[in-house]
Amino acid sequence: MPKKRTKQELSSFMDFVRKQGVVGMAVGLAVGVAAAGAVNDIVEGLINPVVGFLLAGTDLTEITWNTGLSRAGEDLVLSWGLALNGIIVLLATALVIYLIVQKFKLDRLDKNKED
């Protein structure tokens, strides 16, 4: 009896994998991770140096604002440069992704799929 149940569970699991497109999602996730790495390299290697050059070599992550408030001897320091750097990296990443999608016309692949 236990062998029959195991075979039935395996069959049920394989049906789940086929119906839910688990393999396709796994492939998409793997490609997405690789694409994220490539986009990060483009942003770090091309966009950030240009931004750094335009800002005369200023490291945004080191720009802070000391609020003058303190508790237990520790000052409240806001790293607004770090937040600004994050926004710039986000916008640069979005720009790179947009340019890749436009250049390779990847958005048209989805439109053809719907028709």
32's tokens: 């997405």
Domains along the chain with CATH numbers: 2-114 (1.10.1200)
CB-based contact 88:51 (threshold 8 Å): yes
φ and ψ at 68, to 5 degrees?
85, -5
Computed on alpha carbons and rounded to an integer, the radius of gyration of the chain in Å comes to: 24
Amino acid type, 5: R
User: In the structure, what pLDDT confidence band is assigned to residue 107 with cuts at 50, 70 and 90?
Assistant: low
* Model confidence pLDDT, tens digit, residues 19-37: 888 878 888 888 888 888 8
Q: What percent of the chain has pLDDT over 70?
A: 89
Phi-psi region of 103 (alpha: psi -120 to 50; beta: other; left: phi over 0): alpha
Mean predicted lDDT score pLDDT of the chain: 80
